[in-house]
Amino acid sequence: MTASPTTSGNYTCLRVDDKEIILVGTAHISQDSVDTVIRTIDEVIPDTVCVELDNQRYQSLINKKGWESLNLKELIKKKQVPFLLTNLALSSYQKRMGLHTGVKPGAELAAAAQTAEERGMEVELIDRNIRTTLLRVWRKTGLWNKMKVVASLFGSLFEKQELNEEELAKLRESDTLSSMLDEMGKLLPSVKQILVDERDTYMAYHIRNAPGEKVLAVVGAAHLPGIIQLLQGDEISPETIAEISIVTPKTTFSKMIPWLIPGIVIALFIGGFFFGNRDQLANAATAWILANGLFSALGALLALGHPLTILSAFVAAPLTSLNPTIGAGFVTGLVQSFVAAPTVHDMEHVGDDLTTFKGWWQNRLARVLLVFLFSSIGSSIGTFVALGWLKDLL
């Protein structure tokens, strides 16, 4: 049995079965939200405080020396650089906005968890794992929309955002946020479904099943309308949560794509050997090496990679282009992390450095990531250029 929601000050109250649920909507870079969260916890004295965080994000918020546990070389080997890049881009965008209010992004969420712990209350981290969310977005988004997402994400890095508390107060208004999400839904419905709708479902389920008779949930204001609607509806099944908690497996076609170009290249060489001009094989091999090597090396150079990194890009790219399991960025990222290893200062200040265009190149950790990204892109461009040359030579 669910009663209609009532609004009192900065929070909304719901009665779901025998549980009282209090929802607080926040802006993630607002001092007012920090103050509101602490004040509300002391006012309602809940049994449990639910927070819109997963364990990874919570640890990054409370662990001031999280850089100590970052093993960059292991991260490159496990092919997790794209996730680190995405996380840094998202945090950089929020942090740059937060600089204008003097509040660290997610400060109100950390304040909610820490205040609850200090008061002896239960703390529940109710958001889905960030890596699962990002992978589901990537796997369920078509190529064109993937390009839109990447362009939007990295384009936002260099937009100037100056928000004061008054503007943040407007952003906390449900109707304004709902209209923004509606626009997102029209542009990229699959992205909105995964980033917002699925997480609303995941969080509503965990709020409803949190221990205690009085539960307070602190979530971003954008999630409030969806969560309230879900809490008023039928109980969400564990099977639904299990379904949206798994990473969608790659399709057979997407697994084959990385092997398609190497297969074409090898077929061209075999065809040239048996049916073409064998004297041109040496020229074709040279064309393949130069196109892949030079473009990948150019990418490493644009990232201001170490000379040895640039050389490794030239040597590795022609070989890695024929082996989808190891990309050029894998090699160049490792080389850069060895010959110009990020310092403690780089790791401690990466969040601040990435708020400026210049900072991406000045910070050694960011430069390793740029080397990985640019040399990989360069190798891909070189592969397509080389295919054009091979077609004419063989």
Q: 0.75 exceeded by the pTM?
A: no
pLDDT value at 101 more than 50: no
Angle between helices 281-302 and 328-339 (to 10 degrees): 50
pLDDT value at 338 more than 70: yes
pLDDT of residue 179: 47
pLDDT of residue 117: 92
Beta-ladder partners of 48:
122, 215
pLDDT of residue 175: 41
Residues 367-384, mean pLDDT to the nearest whole number = 89
β 122-125/19-26 pair status: unpaired
Tokens for 31, please give them: 């001092």
pLDDT of residue 283: 77
Query: pLDDT by residue (tens digit) across 170-195?
Result: 555 544 444 445 555 566 676 788 88
pLDDT of residue 92: 58
pLDDT of residue 185: 59
pLDDT of residue 96: 52
Beta-ladder partners of 26:
220
How far apart, in Å, are the Cα atoms of 316 and each of 298, 309, 322, 389?
A: 13, 10, 10, 20
Residues 361-372, mean pLDDT to the nearest whole number = 87
Q: Determine the Cα–Cα distance for residues 243 and 346; give it in Å rounded to an integer.
A: 39
**Are 360 and 298 contacting, i.e. CB atoms less than 8 angstroms apart?**
no
Tokens for 340, please give them: 């110009």
pLDDT of residue 26: 84
**What is the helix, strand, coil percentage profile of the chain, to 5?**
70, 10, 25
- Provide the mean pLDDT of the chain: 78
